[in-house]
Chains A and B, each alone.
Chain A
């Protein structure tokens, strides 16, 4: 199937007092129709900035997309006029955000906010849009949806608000839903409900999803493919099964080792990855993970490994073959 979205060489930096923070340093990825792509990484690895850059939601200044293309339906999102990209946002590519507490306008009713994309993109009247909004709220499982249109965000619980957020993102039946850590701010039982809701809606509506998270557990049951990011780069990309069964990058391995497992019989200490993520004041010229990597040798500190293709779908950016512990030739 053809790619719905294809991002190549995306680079974004932010101006700060001391210079530039290189948040995204040449990211390539693609998304097929109806596919769910997980983007995983720790805080500050550039996963949110990647998708925000794509939709041009980075505050400029201080942020700036300096290179790359993001082809969507034959057009480059990064080169569109502000008006063109505006018609994509919320209509064809929508986003849901991490914190459902702060992502709603506290002074507007839920109905107004959910109906807004319909008024803008579909040209619906206020009344028709509100009716449709009530249907959407019912679809995401808000009880008495019609009565709740006049409620304000603070009258909803966190989980309910995230449901409303999802309804709002899906009002215009987008091709792509970008979920930027939508469950991070919720407690575990609510997380599961939200994941199930998104799964159900995906099966009903057939949109493609980019799900950003730092929680490998959530992605496992949801995504078709996973991109692991580190230091503003994709360091491993693979279909979900091989990635969890046989991770190739030392960082991915570290992440998986640091998770407790339900099926473990004997007790073990959780393994942590030593050190801290890099401060990206310069563009990485060597492997950004090398300082924390147990496999690292001279080459890792001198050259940044490219993302190489192993057996078809599994890509990794590492000089070392972690199966043997020896450098790749």
Chain B
């Protein structure tokens, strides 16, 4: 088991290398650069900027430098310097006089005073909080809805649950968000229409330091708006999976043993039906916690969803690389956790 996890984490390094290489190649293959404007900058300034950010170097040199900055830990005696945008590391550990500094994702081209690590430190926690809450909403609504629909197949409960699911899938956040804001924020004035209720410093780097109504009043609407779509997917999946499981021979065996219908479902059917649901939870988690453009924009949440989009249109190379790699890391780790959960759910799956 431990060996399996280590092996998977080593694979992750390979995956990240491939992802970084492809991303790097693609973003440089796209025409235009970070400092192209409608009204071109004077050539001297362009030359200075390109020199400043090493954009004149051959691409392979730039890529090598990027990998060096991000992947290799540096051992120095100089402490971190907050004013130097090119020397901002995500992980700084002090041992005696020695600093171990790791993961410099570089400056952002679109802001003169921020680094990619600043985005990870300030925007990512908010997106993660929102994503986790949306995922909670999705699970708490989706799975029970799916179970009810499956157990009461072809009854009014089934149709009602699946109508809710269809509604959740078909109404995008861009419609549902403003609708919620209009009802609960503007008309009823129960919830603030925009903003987010937590500020740095964060517990463990991403959790709000203070929980309470002041925090949750900001989170309810976006979490519901974002989670509803995913809950619909989970509901349909749970329903389909449970319906398949209750047709299995071992469910008949359980009934033939004289089990109460309640036990047949909870003890014999439920765990088996969770496997496909868990499969989808991995990528769903990665997608939700790394930021969601439309939801964050609609509710005025300072998360990192917008950087996925704007960094590409701005050709903000370090931000593109940073966000894509971050997403890849979340996806790979989420899938690893999913695989470990499989082994817990199904004893036939063993990793040794």
Q: Does B248 contact A (CB under 8 A)?
A: yes
Q: Which of A260-308 contact B (CB under 8 A)?
A: none
- Asked whether A106 lies within 8 Å of B258 as measured between CB atoms, the reply is no
Point out the residues of chain A lying under 8 angstroms from B257, CB to CB: 89-90, 94, 116-117, 120, 168
Closest to B344 in A: A107
Q: How far is the CB of A98 from chain B (nearest CB, A)?
A: 8
- Chain B interface, >50% SS class: helix
Q: Does A108 contact B (CB under 8 A)?
A: yes
Select which of B256, B267, B346, B348 is within 8 A of A95 by beta carbon. Answer: B256
**Known interface pairs A91-B258, A117-B258, A152-B348; A107-B272 also in contact (CB < 8 Å):** yes
Q: Does B268 contact A (CB under 8 A)?
A: yes
Q: Does B152 contact A (CB under 8 A)?
A: no
Q: Which of B27-67 contact A (CB under 8 A)?
A: none
- Asked whether A103 lies within 8 Å of B258 as measured between CB atoms, the reply is no
- Asked whether A90 lies within 8 Å of B258 as measured between CB atoms, the reply is yes
- Asked whether A97 lies within 8 Å of B252 as measured between CB atoms, the reply is yes
- Asked whether A89 lies within 8 Å of B258 as measured between CB atoms, the reply is yes
Q: Which of A81-120 contact B (CB under 8 A)?
A: 82, 86-91, 94-95, 97, 99, 102-108, 116-117, 120
Q: How far is the CB of B273 from chain A (nearest CB, A)?
A: 10
Q: Does A55 contact B (CB under 8 A)?
A: yes
Point out the residues of chain A lying under 8 angstroms from B254, CB to CB: 105, 116
Point out the residues of chain A lying under 8 angstroms from B249, CB to CB: 97, 99, 102-103
Q: Does B309 contact A (CB under 8 A)?
A: no
Point out the residues of chain A lying under 8 angstroms from B247, CB to CB: 59
Q: How far is the CB of B5 from chain A (nearest CB, A)?
A: 22
Closest to A172 in B: B258
Q: How far is the CB of B271 from chain A (nearest CB, A)?
A: 5
- Asked whether A107 lies within 8 Å of B258 as measured between CB atoms, the reply is no
CA distance A120 to B250 in the complex (A): 17
Select which of A87, A152, A165 is within 8 A of B347 by beta carbon. Answer: A152
Point out the residues of chain B lying under 8 angstroms from A82, CB to CB: 261
Q: How far is the CB of B161 from chain A (nearest CB, A)?
A: 19
- Asked whether B250 lies within 8 Å of A102 as measured between CB atoms, the reply is yes
- Asked whether B258 lies within 8 Å of A105 as measured between CB atoms, the reply is no
Closest to A102 in B: B249
- Asked whether B259 lies within 8 Å of A120 as measured between CB atoms, the reply is yes
Q: Does B253 contact A (CB under 8 A)?
A: yes
- Asked whether A105 lies within 8 Å of B252 as measured between CB atoms, the reply is no
Q: Does A146 contact B (CB under 8 A)?
A: no
Point out the residues of chain A lying under 8 angstroms from B267, CB to CB: 108
Q: Does B82 contact A (CB under 8 A)?
A: no
- Asked whether B260 lies within 8 Å of A86 as measured between CB atoms, the reply is yes
- Asked whether B250 lies within 8 Å of A121 as measured between CB atoms, the reply is no
Q: How far is the CB of A14 from chain B (nearest CB, A)?
A: 14
Point out the residues of chain B lying under 8 angstroms from A205, CB to CB: none
Select which of B248, B256, B346, B347 is within 8 A of A102 by beta carbon. Answer: B248
CA distance A296 to B257 in the complex (A): 44
Q: For B258, B261, B346, which residue has the most chain A Cβ atoms within 10 angstroms?
A: B258
Q: Does B255 contact A (CB under 8 A)?
A: yes
CA distance A155 to B267 in the complex (A): 20
Point out the residues of chain B lying under 8 angstroms from A64, CB to CB: none
Closest to B261 in A: A82
CA distance A90 to B261 in the complex (A): 14
With contacts A94-B257, A165-B253 known, what are 14 further pairs, Cβ within 8 A?
A82-B261, A86-B258, A90-B257, A90-B258, A90-B259, A97-B252, A99-B249, A103-B249, A105-B250, A105-B268, A106-B348, A107-B347, A117-B257, A117-B258
The 7 listed contacts between A and B (C-beta, < 8 Å) are A57-B255, A105-B272, A106-B272, A117-B257, A117-B258, A152-B347, A154-B347
